[in-house]
A and B are shown apart, each in its own frame.
Chain A
């Protein structure tokens, strides 16, 4: 299972909308106030496609990540699947 959770609140809705446009993304229904945005392989989201300002953008994975960040800057968020442990051993 690869993807990220999004709390079902207005300020993060544009993130879900932007992710939904990718062909390899499945946006799951809200459960317990969270959506799971699932993707196959890799996912790139450009901040300009979300309309989020930086103060919100840089917290947009706050609901939880099942994957690995390979790029996260003011322009783009790039995620891939991972089997790596959360913490270094």
Chain B
């Protein structure tokens, strides 16, 4: 059952994203000094009043990442990083990342140069379908990305995304889906049906 989008309340962009850190000084240095993001807000609190959970006292602090968004961190005083929150090596953990937007190739190259000048390992730019990106990591090993938009996504992109995901969910339901060729072949049937409905 698909819920009507017309009745859904709207979102208006990112307020903040947040992750835990056990490297307070290095994190402040990286985001405030190396990236140059202003430290704009900090909360300090005695747990959340959740004594039964033994919730640690903590700091929650925010760096301005533009367009009224912030990137935030929690620092839990006197705690050790649980093993399950250590960022694993490998590509799968990189899926959990923050990507910031810049408005031009000039800005993207300026960020690449700034990072390199500050001794941060940064990738060459990669051109994807609709964005061009550079990649790097913070002192917590959290993956970061800075991207510029190459073109706006338009209605055909959204229609295509819908067909892709509808196909993929049906394949997932079979329990026998193992590779992308299966998706591409199954999707073709959806595209043919779509074309029959939209001959122009």
Contacts and interface: CB of A to CB of B under 8 A. Distances in A.
B182 A87 contact: yes
A31 B177 contact: no
14 contacts: A9-B156, A32-B194, A33-B160, A36-B195, A53-B127, A55-B127, A56-B127, A62-B187, A63-B191, A64-B187, A64-B189, A65-B184, A67-B185, A87-B171
Contacts of A11: 129-130, 150
A34 B181 contact: no
Given A31-B200, A55-B128, A64-B191, A10 B184 contact: no
A44 to B, nearest CB: 17
Given A32-B194, A55-B127, A86-B182, A62 B188 contact: no
Contacts of A23: none
Interface of A: 4-5, 7-11, 31-34, 36, 53, 55-56, 59, 61-69, 86-88
B160 A88 contact: no
Contacts, number: 84
Given A55-B126, A64-B190, A65-B188, A33 B156 contact: yes
Contacts of A59: 129
Given A4-B184, A7-B156, A87-B182, 5 more contacts: A11-B129, A62-B187, A65-B188, A66-B188, A67-B185
Interface size class of B (residues with CB under 8 A): 20 to 34
Interface of B: 126-130, 150-151, 155-157, 159-160, 164, 171, 174, 176-177, 181-182, 184-192, 194-195, 197-200
